[in-house]
Structure 1
């Protein structure tokens, strides 16, 4: 998505794309963490509302069949 956003920003900057509506909503997100010496460091990251929502899929290695039963263990 970063490459797509960069492409659209370039198109708008060059005047090749003149959108009638905003392409996305952008806001600042602040990340706080401590460095190796214990000093607090804050980084500003821009977030956009262009994520693609996908439904969560069942884990194929969960050990259960779709009807809820568990497979038989192999005999040793």
Structure 2
């Protein structure tokens, strides 16, 4: 699945999404911004990949977090 490498900042000013190249992506992914605002505490920075998945249109967007601890390999 292809997506956009995204840095997400959740702070008192709101949620901002950035590309690795420093381009603001917030307007491209309003559902992600909303999900982060609802589910992520203020002050958190996320580094991940934004990818669209097939979901029923009535489903509320949610964040799927994949974490690999430093130094571990699967």
Q: Indicate whether the TM-score tops 0.5.
A: no
Greater RCO (CA < 8 Å, at least 6 residues apart): 2
- 1 or 2, which has the higher strand percentage? 2
Larger radius of gyration: 1
Structure 2 length as normaliser, TM-score? 0.25
